[in-house]
Amino acid sequence: MRVISLINGSLSSESSSIYALHYAKRLGCKFSLVYIKEKVYSTELEKSFENIKHSADFLQLDIELLVFEDLLEFKDFIQFKDIDMLFCSSKQNHTIFDRSFAQSIIKMEMKVDLAVVKVVKLFRANSIESIILPIRGSKLSVKKFTLFYTFVLAYDAKGEIYSIDKLSKDKLGKIDSMQIKNRLKEVIFNLRHYFRVAILTSSKFNLKHDYAFGEGEQVKTHIAENRYDLAIVGAHHEKKFLKNHPIDILFETPIINTIYFIPYNEGEL
């Protein structure tokens, strides 16, 4: 299997590629950097490649650089290769629905799992101490957990699954300590299989549960209070009429570097 990271000479794509390096190293995958000629900032490309190669040498991971004329040629390449994950970066000031390189890839529905990295803080990708995975209730797909846990193991980082249940303001004010305790037990039971995986790999992660009226804002508050280094989120990229998805807030105004996971041909996030 192979991990691919798209580069364009920008510092954000460089950071995204370094996350991809650590991911590939942990899984024992081959690693390729790809640039698309129609999108690249060529003046900075060589410098960016050398910086990424320096990180790859430190991790003792071989890399190669592949060049494609356009996204259609790249899509044809993806179609016939065993690709584990495709990483690409997204600018901090892009919303989910802006026209961007990442959005172009999403719309092309390439046959590959996609990790879109939104870089808020540069030069942090080689040193990660804590990673958070926000989820709704106990809804957690195997694919999203696998991505989160791979990064936890790759960086030997502290991992936390942060479970949020949405309640109305009225119900939020009436909930008691027994209800909170019973709900936490229920979430732990529903996620028990993931805890078993951690035990089998001689590792662990924490579970935190909260109730909130505004899910996205509560996650941001929790991240700020606990100073996490990286967030893993199941990306949402379909907008409902006059209603924003809570994940939109995390994407549009992130406070830490965040990886948005979009599995190929899957509705489960």
Q: What is the pLDDT of residues 118-152, one digit of tens each?
A: 999 888 899 999 999 999 999 999 999 999 999 99
Q: What is the pLDDT of residue 108?
A: 83
Q: What is the pLDDT of residue 268?
A: 46
The tens digit of pLDDT for each residue in 225-257 reads 999 999 999 865 544 434 456 666 676 778 899
For the 2-118 domain, the top CATH level (class) is alpha beta
pTM of the full structure: 0.89
Q: What is the pLDDT of residue 225?
A: 94
Is the pLDDT confidence value at 62 over 90? yes
Answer yes or no: are the C-beta atoms of 114 and 105 closer than 8 Å.
Answer: yes
Cβ neighbours of residue 61 under 8 Å, at least 6 residues apart?
A: 21, 24, 25, 31
- Site of tokens 């990660």: 128
**Model pLDDT, residue 173:** 81
Q: How many CB atoms lie within 10 A of CB 189?
A: 10
User: 96 or 29: which carries more pLDDT confidence?
Assistant: 29
What distance in Å separates the CA atoms of residue 19 and residue 38, rounded to the nearest whole number?
A: 24
pLDDT at 55 exceeding the cut of 60: yes
CA distance linking residue 165 with residue 140, whole number of Å: 13
Q: If you search the block for the tokens 């490649």, which residue do you land on?
A: 49
Q: How far apart are the C-alpha atoms of 130 and 205, rounded to whole Å? A: 10
Name the CA radius of gyration of the chain, rounded: 19
State which CATH number among 3.40.718.10, 3.30.450.20, 3.40.50.620, 2.60.40.650 fits the domain covering 130-257.
Answer: 3.40.50.620
Across the chain, what does the average pLDDT equal? 87
Beta bridge partners of 210: 164
Domains of the chain by residue range: 2-118, 130-257
Quick check: do 2-118 and 130-257 share a fold?
yes
Please tell me the predicted confidence (pLDDT) of residue 97: 45
Helices and strands of the chain, counted as H and E runs: 10, 10
- Report the percentage of the chain scoring pLDDT > 70: 86
Q: What is the predicted pLDDT for the residue at 111?
A: 87
- Per-residue pLDDT reduced to its tens digit, 151-200: 999 999 999 999 999 888 888 888 888 999 999 999 999 999 999 999 99
